[in-house]
Amino acid sequence: MAGGVELQKAAELYERLQKLSCPSLEGVYVTEPQNIYELLCTPSVHRLDILEWICTSAYPPLQEQFSSLKESQAELKVKEMAKLGFDLMLCNPEDLDLIKGNVSPSRQLSFMGHLLDVIQTCDQVSSNSEPQSVTKGSDNNFGIYARENDELLKELFSSPHFQATLAPECNPWPADLKPLLVPEGLQKRTLPCSKDNAISDHIQELQIISLSLEDLKQECPFLCRSVPGEETIIQKLSVVLTDFHQLITSFTQVYENELQEHCGHAAPQISHSGPLFQSVHQLLTTCSKELEAIAQFTETSSAIEGVVKKRQQAKECWGGGSMATLYEKIKELKQNYELFHSSLQENK
């Protein structure tokens, strides 16, 4: 006879299956919780058909695979359903007894309930993301997501930017890296040219900075005044402005050469499987709390056991008598009682 909690869970699961219009329940009329419990938790062909419908609804590609199997290949269906449970992190791939119904009823009901959560989550995602003209359940949600991910990966691997990331090139090499990367023979021929280019670039930058400082002097005439004690402040301000100008110039060059071509891409699409990960996170959090509670219970039990052992082994003075342990005192009282009882029997 099942407990009240298991009967209630079985009734709730049966009601959810009816709302989802499970075809395996057509023509089945059970109302008593005990009968519902036996239908969902007792090994039978009918129960396996219900579980098969739940699995194919959670992952529609299984329907095509099951339709190609014969009735004598039922064991393959069991293995595929266990593999689906493993992919959804609900069981191990070897949990064939869970699929057949040979494990505890609470575990069977929990497994079916999580699969129904997957079905309802996918239906909610499809109803929120698909156009209204598409009917509910008309497409295979997981198949759509798999194809979209496949197309995204193909686009990523065929992108020239991705290939450039896998095999980066630095041509021409920067002046500080070129001596380490270019062979010696080539380095001797190209190094003077690169130095000349670098010097000319630095000269142009200095000229631009000088022009900027001249414009700044015209806008800030107080910088030209010579006031005792303010020379240090003016020098610091000039250094700060020079560093700031160099930072802006460096950022502009990096943006134009490397970052600009990556800024026009469309925003990535966020996966719709968020509720599944939230459910997994909640289950893991609950499991962690239960493990902590078990650890605390074990620690408390060990402490109580130690106190009891110490109490039994420690010798104490009982009512002014000699020192004795609790066990010895109880044994002594038992002997006294037996003597007293035997004396009463003799007097009779």
Instruction: Establish if 271 belongs to a structural domain.
Output: no
Instruction: Establish if 85 belongs to a structural domain.
Output: yes
Instruction: Establish if 267 belongs to a structural domain.
Output: no
**pLDDT per residue as tens digits for the range 196-220:** 566 677 778 877 887 887 777 777 6
Residues 116, 206 within the same domain: no
Alpha carbons 38 and 42: distance in angstroms, whole number: 5
% of residues, the chain, pLDDT over 70: 73
Nearest to 51, CA basis, from 32, 78, 28, 69: 78
From 169-178, 239-248, 322-331, the region with the lowest mean pLDDT: 169-178
**Long-range contact list for 250-259, CB < 8 A, 24+ apart?**
none
Alpha carbons 145 and 158: distance in angstroms, whole number: 20
Region for residue 72 given its phi and psi (left: phi exceeds 0; alpha: psi -120 to 50; beta: otherwise): alpha
Alpha carbons 226 and 233: distance in angstroms, whole number: 11
Residues 227, 190 within the same domain: yes
**pLDDT per residue as tens digits for the range 277-301:** 888 888 999 999 999 999 999 999 9
Nearest to 87, CA basis, from 169, 142, 17: 142
pLDDT of residue 226: 55
Cα first-last separation, the chain: 54
**More confident site: 316 or 119:** 119
- Number of C-beta neighbours around residue 241 at 10 A: 14
Whether 187 shows a pLDDT value over 60: the answer reads no
pLDDT of residue 230: 56
Please state the domain count of the chain.
4
Residues 120, 46 within the same domain: yes
Instruction: Establish if 165 belongs to a structural domain.
Output: yes
Name 317's bridge partners.
323
Nearest to 51, CA basis, from 102, 5, 94: 102
Alpha carbons 98 and 250: distance in angstroms, whole number: 63
Alpha carbons 204 and 246: distance in angstroms, whole number: 12
Q: Which of 130, 160, 192 is the last residue of a domain?
A: 130
Alpha carbons 91 and 223: distance in angstroms, whole number: 76
Alpha carbons 178 and 194: distance in angstroms, whole number: 9
Q: Is the peptide bond before 275 cis (omega within 30 degrees of 0)?
A: no
Alpha carbons 42 and 53: distance in angstroms, whole number: 17
**Tokens in use for 285?**
């959090």
Instruction: Establish if 294 belongs to a structural domain.
Output: no
Question: DSSP H helical segments within 220-320, as ranges?
Answer: 231-254, 274-313
State which residues form the domain around 159.
140-169
Taking the C-alpha atoms of 328, 331, 332 and 335 in order, what is their torsion angle to the nearest 10 degrees? -160
Residues 158, 96 within the same domain: no
**pTM for the complete prediction?**
0.39
Residues 96, 45 within the same domain: yes
Q: Is the peptide bond before 172 cis (omega within 30 degrees of 0)?
A: yes
Residues 22, 63 within the same domain: yes
In terms of average pLDDT, the best of 94-98, 259-263, 273-277 is 94-98
Residues 114, 15 within the same domain: yes
- Number of C-beta neighbours around residue 302 at 10 A: 10
